[in-house]
Structure formats: C-alpha cells, structure tokens
Amino acid sequence: MSTVPVTIARGGTSRAVFLPMSALPARQTERDELCLRLIGSPDPQAVDGLGGGVSSNSKVMFVGPSERADLETLFAQVSPTEEVVDWTGNCGNISSAVLHYARHTGLFDGDSARVWNLNSQALFELVLLDDSVDMRFLSPGGEKCGSLFPAGRRCKVDGLEVSLIDVANPIVITRAADVGVDPELGMAALNADTALLARLERLRVAAGERMGLAPSKVIPRVAMVAPGKDLRVVMTSVGRIHHALPGTGILALAGAVALGGTVIDDVLPGRRDALTLQHFKGDVEVSARARGAELEWVALPRTARILLSGQAYL
C-alpha cells in the first residue's frame, strides 16, 4: 500500500487536503484517481477518505515553488457524489490557507507571498496578519474568458437578464427575484426545491457556453443578489446551493460593484470600493479598486489554520 504526505487545512469556509506539487502524477487519469482516493469519492459520507461529503470539504490543493512567483498552486474540486474531478477553476477560500501550508511544511518561511494559480492563470498575494490573512488578487480579470465582461456588463441568458464576469473565477450574476429565490430561506429549504436547482443549473451551463468556457461542473457559479445591508447573496456549488459563499465568487462580486453597470446596480445603486455581503450563514466584508474599466485589485480577509499533517494511505 502506497502513501503520500498530506496536510489538512481549513481556509475560510472550506477544508482541503494539501499535497506538495512533487506528489502530482504526470498523467491526468492518475491525478483524478489520486484525488478521488484521497477524498473518498464518490460517496456522500466519504467514509473511505478525507472528504466531508459536500463540495466545500471535497477539495485537493497542490502547492510548490514557482518561477513566476513565490509559490504556485493547482486546485482540484472533487465531486462528493460522482466520479468527477474538476480542474478548471481555483478555490478562493482554500487559497487563503496556502501560505499556512507552505510555512508549516518548510516550503516557504515568509509572512507574505505572491502565489501563481495554474487553474486560473491568476496572481494573488497573501499577507499574514495577527488573526487573519489578507488575500489580494492583483490586476484581475479575464483569466479564463479573455475579458472582464465576455458578453458586456448585461446580457440575456436562458431568458434572464444577467451579468457575466470573469474575476478570480467566472460567475453569472442574476437578481434573486428573477429566479424566485428568497435569500432569507436557509440552504436546506432552497436545496429541497429540485425545480429551482434544475433551473439554476440550466442557467449556469448556458452562461458557461456564452462565456466560451469548456464544460465544467464548477464554473461558472451562479450568484443571486438581493437588497440588504449592502447585498444579500446566495450562490451555487456543484449543482447545489452553497452552504456559505465561495471566496472567488465574493471577489468577483466586489469587482462587479466597483466597476458598475451590472445587474447588481438594480439592487445596490452606485459604485463602491468596499461592501458587506450578507448570507444566511453570516456576513463577509470585501473590497476592490477600479481604475477606469479595469480592476487594480480585489481583496478579501480570511482566516485559516492547519488541522493535521501525516501520511495518507492509498
């Protein structure tokens, strides 16, 4: 029985199995097999692996040295219920724990690092503060689609007026009322509405085609916005309503607000650099700075910690 060195860490509202880049197999089929084996998927209970039976805990992150930055990462989203591993996007929450992992394993010893993500071809900076991590994506936009707004700031997709934006990860933004979503409802109630989930998945797939993305179970995500303190937001993840807010989705929404002109303007008029996103699990603060039609940066404070290290038996 073979083994591989692993570290389990929480980043923001997600948890992942971290491995050194040297443990990444050369062949794609072997990469998929490794991730499925580590997580224990497909199995909603993940009893034979290190996953948690939901998308936010079914993640694998490879970290290594980089010629473009201090570190580079490659992220794998593992489906809890299907034999599927998606390598198309990055995870913002888990990215916030990369410097913790690098310091813990002796890969890097600084308090700040620039990180190059291979999935999204994006550069971000991590800075360790007293009790949090400042995660800042630098000059973001168009990493997957070639432009910030691949179909303009507003367009029609699946009969709905939406905004498609590619910042950190691509997302499709719709007004919650347009898809019949009450953000006051909890995750369980929304996930019990199979007709809603099917409609959101049709919208997500159609938006991905409009953005020129390869078929993916993960990107783009759907963000549904409604009025709140600033914004109330509900987002999807792998065919379900997410229990929290994906980090890259938070950053993309901040970018859309800073740039203006999207469907968000109908529920939150005016451009701003900082805002609070309300969710049924809590609030999150995020900021962005625009320069004309471009973004200088988008930033998100997160917390992260190492949970354990050891050898995983395959």
Report the CATH number at residue 252: 3.10.310.10
Same structural domain for residues 133 and 204?
no
The pLDDT of residue 297 is: 97
> HSE (CB half, 13 Å, CA atoms) of 143?
28
Same structural domain for residues 105 and 196?
no
Same structural domain for residues 78 and 133?
yes
Residue 307 in any domain: the answer is yes
**Distance of CA 301 to CAs 30, 53, 67, Å?**
35, 26, 26
* pLDDT tens-digit map of 246-303: 999 999 999 999 999 999 999 999 899 999 999 988 999 999 999 999 999 999 999 9
pLDDT at 200 over 90: yes
The DSSP code for 214 is: P
Same structural domain for residues 199 and 121?
no
Hey, what are 75's tokens? 């992220």
Strands 274-279 and 122-128 come out as unpaired
Same structural domain for residues 282 and 223?
yes
3-state DSSP call for residue 241?
Answer: strand
Residue 130 in any domain: the answer is yes
Q: How many domains does the chain have?
A: 2
* pLDDT tens-digit map of 32-69: 999 999 999 999 899 999 998 889 999 999 999 999 99
Buried b (16+ CB within 10 A) or exposed e, 211-240: bebeebbbbbbbbbbbebebbbbbbbbbbb
What is the pLDDT averaged over residues 215-234?
95
Residue closest to 151 by CA, chosen among 135, 167, 163: 163
Hey, what are 281's tokens? 């699990």
Residue 209 in any domain: the answer is yes
Hey, what are 190's tokens? 């929304």
The pLDDT of residue 44 is: 84
Residue 195 in any domain: the answer is yes
3-state DSSP call for residue 6?
Answer: strand
The pLDDT of residue 281 is: 86
Residue closest to 19 by CA, chosen among 1, 32, 6, 8: 6
Same structural domain for residues 237 and 255?
yes
What is the pLDDT averaged over residues 157-179?
97
Q: How far apart are CA 237 and CA 253, in angstroms?
A: 16
Residue closest to 14 by CA, chosen among 43, 42, 55, 48: 55
Contacts 24+ apart (CB under 8 A), 119-125: 119/73, 119/74, 119/75, 119/87, 119/88, 119/89, 119/90, 120/89, 120/90, 120/144, 120/168, 120/169, 122/90, 122/168, 123/68, 123/69, 124/95
User: Contact 223/253 with Cβ under 8 angstroms?
Assistant: yes
Residue 150 in any domain: the answer is no
What is the pLDDT averaged over residues 222-250?
94
What is the pLDDT averaged over residues 158-177?
97
Same structural domain for residues 260 and 178?
yes
The pLDDT of residue 198 is: 97
When pLDDT is cut at 50, 70 and 90, the band that residue 229 belongs to is confident
Same structural domain for residues 216 and 278?
yes
**Distance of CA 260 to CAs 227, 264, 298, Å?**
16, 8, 14
Same structural domain for residues 287 and 220?
yes
Same structural domain for residues 267 and 173?
yes
* pLDDT tens-digit map of 81-92: 999 999 999 999
Q: How far apart are CA 79 and CA 42, in angstroms?
A: 7
pLDDT at 95 over 90: yes
Same structural domain for residues 286 and 172?
yes
Q: How far apart are CA 42 and CA 83, in angstroms?
A: 5
Same structural domain for residues 41 and 161?
no
When pLDDT is cut at 50, 70 and 90, the band that residue 203 belongs to is very high
The pLDDT of residue 214 is: 94
pLDDT at 167 over 90: yes
Q: What angle do CA 47, 48, 50 make, to 5 degrees?
A: 85
Residue 144 in any domain: the answer is no
pLDDT at 184 over 90: no
Residue 147 in any domain: the answer is no
pTM above 0.75, yes or no: yes
Expressed as residue numbers, the domain containing 269 is 155-295
Residue 280 in any domain: the answer is yes
